[in-house]
Structure 1
Amino acid sequence: MKYWLKLVRIKNLMMMILIFVLIKFSILEQLPFQTNLNTGNYLLLSFSIIFIMAAGYVLNDVCDLETDKINRNKSLIVGDKISVKKAKIFYVLLSCFGLLLGLLFSYRLNRPFYFIFFLIPFLLLITYSKVLKYKFLIGNLIVGFLLFISIYYFNVFELYPIQNTSFQFEKIESENRITALAIFAFLLTLLREIAKDAEDIPGDIVSKSSSLPIKLGLQKTNTVLVFLTSITLIFVIIFIYKISSNYLKVYLVLGVIFPLLYFAISINKNNKPSDYTKSTKQLKLIMFIGILSILFF
C-alpha cells in the first residue's frame, strides 16, 4: 500500500486537501452570505481535482521510467515495486474517477460546459508528461499553472457566480485572498520545479532534456532562482502591506519572508545536482507555512 501512496505523491495531495479545507472553513465559511456551492458540490469539485492530479503523478512516473532509473534508482517505484502495466491501469482508473466526479459536478450545477474546466488539467497533464516536461521552462510553468487553477477554481465556482449581494466588499476581499494564495502557490511551485530540474540533471541528460539547468548551467540557474525568489518576495511584501491583521503580517514576515531570503542567499552555494535536494525541501516547507497563513485570514 505504501508504494501506491508514494506513487500518487500522497504528501502533495494531502497538502492540496489542506488548502481546500482551509479555503472552505477559514475563508468561505466566514463570509456573511451563502456562497455558491453546497457541501456536496464542494467535495465533488475538490476530489475531482485531487484524483486528476493523482493520475498526473502516476503518468509522470510511467513516462519518466528511464530517467528515474538514474535520478531515483534507490527509490524507484514504477518498474520495481509496481509494474508498468499496473501503474497504467491505476492511471486510467484515477483519471476516469476524477473526470466522472467533474462530470457529476457539472450535471448537479446544470452547467454541462463546466466539464471543460476538468478536461483542461487532465489534458495538460498528458501533454506535460509526454511532450512538454523536458522543454525549456515550459514544463515548469505548466506545473505551476496547474496548481494555480486548482486553487483559483474556488473563485470561479464559489464566488464569481454571486452577483447580487450587499456584501460586495467582503466578496471581493475573499476573491483577492484566494487569488493571492493561488499566485503564491504558482511562484513557489515554479521555484521548486526549477530546483528539482537542477537536482535531476544526470537522468535528464540521458533523456535529452532541454530543461533550464541543462541549457543554462547551475550558476545561471541559481541566478534565475534568485530572480524568481525576489519576485515572490515583492509579491508577499505587497500582500503584507495591504492586509490589516498584525498577526498575519508577523506570521508572514517570520514564516515566509525570512526563509525566502535565506533560500535566496544559500542557493548560490549550490554547485552540483545533489545540492538541490535540500533546496527543494526548503521551498516545500516555505509553501506549507505560507498555506497555513490562511488560518489568520
Structure 2
Amino acid sequence: MHFLKLIRYQNLLMIALMQLLFHYAFLKQQPGLVLALSDFQYILLVMATLCIAAGGFVINNIMDQDTDRISKPENVVVGKSISESMAYNIYIGCNIVGVTIGFYLSNLIGKAGFSALFIVIAATLYLYATSLKQSLLIGNIIVALLLSVSVIIVGIFDLFPMINDTNQAQLSILFRILLDYAVFAFMINFIREIVKDIEDMDGDYNSGMNTLPIAIGKARATKVAFALAFIPIVSLLYYINQNLMGLQFVLLYLLAFVIGPLLYFLIKIWSAKTKMEFRHLSMVLKLVLLFGILSILVITLNMHYHG
C-alpha cells in the first residue's frame, strides 16, 4: 500500500483508463480504420506512459516531504514507510523501463525520433519536482500538461504512422477529437492544481514555494479559480452546440455529469474558505475529469446504436 501511495496509483489508473478508452472504445470502433499498434504493442505504450508518470510522482514525493508533513501528513511515505534511497531507486527504475519501452515502440513503427518524447517528459517531470514547481504557475501548467500529453500520445503512436493520401481526412478528424479531449483535460487539471495550491498553502509557504495563493493571497486565488471555471463551461456548451446536438444521450450525459458538476464547483468555490472545502472541490474536478474521459465511450455507443 505504501508503494501504491508513492506512485500515486489513483492518478495512474486515471491515465490508464483514459488511454485504454481512447484506443478500444473509440479508435478501434471506427469502421475500416487500421491502427499502427497491435493490442500487445498498445499495452506496452500504456505501460511506458504509466512508468514515466509514476517516476514523476515518485520524484515529486521525494522533493515534497517537508510540504506534505504540514499539508498532508497522512500522505507522507518517503522517509516514513519507504526510505529515500529506495524511493530514488524506484524513480530510476520507472524511468528506465518507460524510456526503454518507448524506444522499442518508436523503432517498431519506424519513427525512432518519437522516443525523444518519453525522454523529454521524464526530464520535464524531474525539473518540475526539483525547481520549476517553485515558480509561479509554471508548475501548474506542467502538471496539467501531463494528462494532456497522455491523450495526444495515443494519436502520435496509433494514428500518425498510418497517415497516407487516402485516409488523411479521416485520421485528421480523429486526431482533432483527441486534441479536443487533451485541451479539456488541461483546462480541468489546471484549475484543479490551483485549488490544490490553495488547499496546501500553509505547507507550500513554509517550504519557500511561490504558488498563486502565496503570491496574491488565498481570497484572490479563489476568485481566479472561479473565473477560470467559466472557460471549460462555455467551451463545452459551444462544443456541444457545434458537434453533439444530434446525439441525445451524449447531450444528457454531458449536462448531468460534466457541466452540472462544473456549475456546482462554480457556486461552491466562490465562498470556499477551509482546507476541507478546497479538498472537496478538488475531488469534484477529479470526477469531472473522469466523467469527461468516459464521455468518449458514451459518444461511441450513441453513434453506434442511435447515430
TM-score range, shorter chain: over 0.9
For structure 2, the residue ranges without an aligned partner over 5 or more in a row are 300-307
Tell me if structure 2 keeps the 8 A contact 1:218–1:272.
no
User: Within 5 Å, which residues of 2 pair with 1:105-144?
Assistant: 105-144=105-144
- Partner residue in 1 for 2:65: 65
Deviates further, 121-130 or 228-237: 228-237
Cα separation, partners in 2 of 1:280 and 1:117, compared to 1, 3 Å: same
Aligned residue type for 1:144: A
Q: How many Å apart are 1:167 and its aligned residue?
A: 5.1
Q: How many Å apart are 1:185 and its aligned residue?
A: 0.9
CA distance in structure 2 between the aligned counterparts of 1:162 and 1:46, rounded to whole angstroms = 19
- Partner residue in 2 for 1:283: 285
Tell me if structure 2 keeps the 8 A contact 1:219–1:268.
no
For structure 1, the residue ranges without an aligned partner over 5 or more in a row are none
Deviations along 1:29-82, one digit per CA (max 9) or x if unpaired, are 012221222223322222111100001101000011111111122331111111
Q: Secondary structure at the match of 1:133?
A: helix
Matching of residue 254 in structure 1 with residue 256 in structure 2: yes
Q: Secondary structure at the match of 1:161?
A: helix
Q: Secondary structure at the match of 1:49?
A: helix
Aligned residue type for 1:29: K
CA distance in structure 1 between the aligned counterparts of 2:74 and 2:3, rounded to whole angstroms = 16
Matching of residue 22 in structure 1 with residue 24 in structure 2: no
CA distance in structure 1 between the aligned counterparts of 2:262 and 2:76, rounded to whole angstroms = 31
Matching of residue 9 in structure 1 with residue 18 in structure 2: no
Tell me if structure 2 keeps the 8 A contact 1:3–1:77.
yes
CA distance in structure 2 between the aligned counterparts of 1:146 and 1:195, rounded to whole angstroms = 17
User: Could you tell me the TM-score, scaled by structure 2's length?
Assistant: 0.92
Tell me if structure 1 keeps the 8 A contact 2:49–2:150.
yes
Tell me if structure 1 keeps the 8 A contact 2:34–2:162.
no
Which structure 1 residue ranges, 4+ long, deviate > 4 Å from structure 2? 165-169
Aligned residue type for 1:16: I
Q: How many Å apart are 1:270 and its aligned residue?
A: 1.4
Tell me if structure 1 keeps the 8 A contact 2:19–2:150.
no
Tell me if structure 2 keeps the 8 A contact 1:140–1:193.
yes
State the percentage of identical aligned residues: 32
CA distance in structure 1 between the aligned counterparts of 2:185 and 2:192, rounded to whole angstroms = 10
CA distance in structure 1 between the aligned counterparts of 2:24 and 2:5, rounded to whole angstroms = 28
- Partner residue in 2 for 1:273: 275
User: Could you tell me the TM-score, scaled by structure 1's length?
Assistant: 0.95
Cα separation, partners in 2 of 1:166 and 1:115, compared to 1, 3 Å: closer
- Partner residue in 2 for 1:186: 186
Aligned residue type for 1:60: N
CA distance in structure 2 between the aligned counterparts of 1:170 and 1:30, rounded to whole angstroms = 13
Tell me if structure 1 keeps the 8 A contact 2:253–2:295.
yes
Deviations along 1:182-231, one digit per CA (max 9) or x if unpaired, are 11111111111111111111111111111001111122112111121111
CA distance in structure 1 between the aligned counterparts of 2:179 and 2:259, rounded to whole angstroms = 19
User: Within 5 Å, which residues of 2 pair with 1:186-225?
Assistant: 186-225=186-225
Tell me if structure 2 keeps the 8 A contact 1:198–1:276.
yes
CA distance in structure 2 between the aligned counterparts of 1:269 and 1:214, rounded to whole angstroms = 19
CA distance in structure 1 between the aligned counterparts of 2:275 and 2:179, rounded to whole angstroms = 33
Q: Secondary structure at the match of 2:33?
A: coil
CA distance in structure 2 between the aligned counterparts of 1:238 and 1:124, rounded to whole angstroms = 33
Deviations along 1:117-156, one digit per CA (max 9) or x if unpaired, are 1111101101100011121111000111121111111122
Aligned residue type for 1:23: F
- Partner residue in 2 for 1:227: 227
